[in-house]
């Protein structure tokens, strides 16, 4: 099983997960041209995808969905609330309703050789989820767009071999930045986004011997820096109540607008 971030950030998100016979993209918040270029970089084509998983209906996750759906006829997997939100978003255009496949939180389903479990998240969308993938005893999870974590989230992510986790903003940059007050409160709230600090603290609860790679993603272009996210998470793990050290695990930061490295699970 492999994971690759094609784009990750407030301006658009798309992540590839797959293996030798099953290929999936999570979210389509960038143009079809950019999706194709990102997949071409790892030797794949959009037409080879077995489906698109949508986490929620915000435009940075569905901006390119209509084009991909109409051009390639790919099945679209999402919760009922998310599907309703997509159909209400006029900017994505018409999508044939027969392409939609409803998924339910905590009810695993199968696409090819991959077993997929949708995990409920706290975010200001209709019915948002994250996704965890299983294949032959290995697993990977993509967890972004959540304002808080709890024991349910920790249980849903424990024992992952590869974890793609949100580190959206630096709290100080957000607080002193140019965003209006209401937007700052939204981002900082329980239905907003994980800060660098919260991401590091959550990771302290998830570290284990078989964790092979951590990817920090969905960084804000306005309120974060890749170096700052990396360093803050490093400090949280270093100072946290855990037997592990930051250097025990490869940690990378997903790029906002270009493909990141392909990670093998």
Which domains does the chain carry? 1-105 (3.60.15.10), 146-255 (no CATH)
Is 7 in contact with 31 (CB distance < 8 Å)?
no
- Convert the pLDDT of each residue in 181-231 to its tens digit: 999 999 999 999 999 999 999 999 999 999 999 999 999 999 999 999 999
- Cα–Cα distance measured from residue 137 to residue 1, given in angstroms and rounded to the nearest whole number: 11
Torsion over CA: 116, 117, 121, 127 (sign)? positive
Mean pLDDT, all residues of the chain: 96
Least Cα distance to 86 among 115, 63, 113 occurs for 63
- High-pLDDT (> 70) share of the chain, %: 100
Tokens of 251: 């940690």
For 82-141, the pLDDT digits (tens) are: 999 999 999 999 999 999 999 999 999 999 999 999 999 999 999 999 999 999 999 999
Report which secondary-structure segment, H or E, holds 226: helix 226-239
Residue located via tokens 């999706």: 35
> What is the SS3 assignment for 89-129?
CHHHCCCCHHHEEECCCCCCEEECCEEEEEEECCCCCCCCE
Does position 265 have pLDDT exceeding 90, yes or no? no
Residue 93 backbone phi and psi in degrees, to 5: 80, -175
Across 242-261, average pLDDT: 94
Task: Please give the radius of gyration of the chain, using alpha carbons only, rounded to the nearest integer.
Answer: 17
Could you give the C-alpha distances from 262 to 38, 92, 137, in angstroms and in order? 11, 29, 20
Are the beta carbons of 17 and 1 closer than 8 angstroms?
yes
The pLDDT of residue 129: 98
Structure tokens at 245: 């050290």
Say how far apart CA 182 and CA 193 lie, in whole Å.
14
Strand 129-135, strand 2-7: pairing? unpaired
How is the chain split among helix, strand and coil, in percent rounded to 5? 30, 25, 45
CA–CA dist 151, 167 (Å, integer): 19
Q: Which long-range contacts (CB under 8 A, 24 or more apart) does 189-193 make?
A: 189/124, 189/147, 190/122, 190/147, 190/148, 191/122, 191/123, 191/124, 191/147, 192/123, 192/124, 192/147, 193/123, 193/145, 193/146, 193/147, 193/166, 193/168, 193/169, 193/218, 193/220
pLDDT value for 10: 86
Question: Tens digits of per-residue pLDDT, 14-31?
Answer: 999 999 999 999 999 999
- Asked whether 190 and 220 are in contact (CB, 8 A), the reply is no
């Amino acid at each position: 099983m492999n994971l690759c971030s094609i784009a990750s950030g407030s301006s658009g998100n798309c992540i590839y997960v797959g293996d030798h016979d099953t290929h999936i993209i999570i979210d389509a918040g960038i143009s079809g041209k950019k999706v194709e270029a990102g997949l071409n970089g790892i030797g794949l084509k959009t037409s080879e995808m077995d489906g698109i998983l949508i986490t929620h209906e915000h435009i940075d996750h569905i901006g390119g969905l209509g084009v991909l759906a109409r051009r390639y006829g790919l099945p679209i997997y999402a919760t009922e609330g998310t599907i309703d939100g997509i159909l209400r978003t006029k900017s994505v255009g018409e999508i044939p309703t027969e392409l939609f496949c409803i998924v339910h939180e905590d009810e695993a389903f199968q696409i090819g050789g991959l077993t997929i479990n949708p995990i409920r998240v706290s975010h200001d969308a209709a019915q948002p989820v994250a996704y965890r993938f299983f294949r032959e005893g290995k697993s990977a999870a993509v967890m972004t767009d959540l304002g808080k974590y709890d024991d349910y989230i920790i249980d849903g992510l424990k024992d992952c071999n590869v974890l793609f986790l949100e580190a959206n903003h630096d709290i100080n940059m957000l607080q002193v930045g140019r965003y209006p007050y209401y937007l700052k409160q939204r981002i900082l709230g329980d239905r907003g986004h994980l800060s660098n600090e919260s991401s590091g603290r959550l990771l302290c609860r998830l570290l284990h011997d078989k964790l092979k790679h951590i990817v920090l993603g969905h960084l804000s272009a306005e309120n974060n820096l890749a170096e700052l996210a990396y360093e803050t998470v490093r400090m949280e793990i270093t100072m946290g109540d855990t037997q592990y050290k930051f250097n025990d695990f490869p940690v990378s930061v997903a790029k906002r607008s270009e493909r990141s490295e392909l990670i093998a699970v």
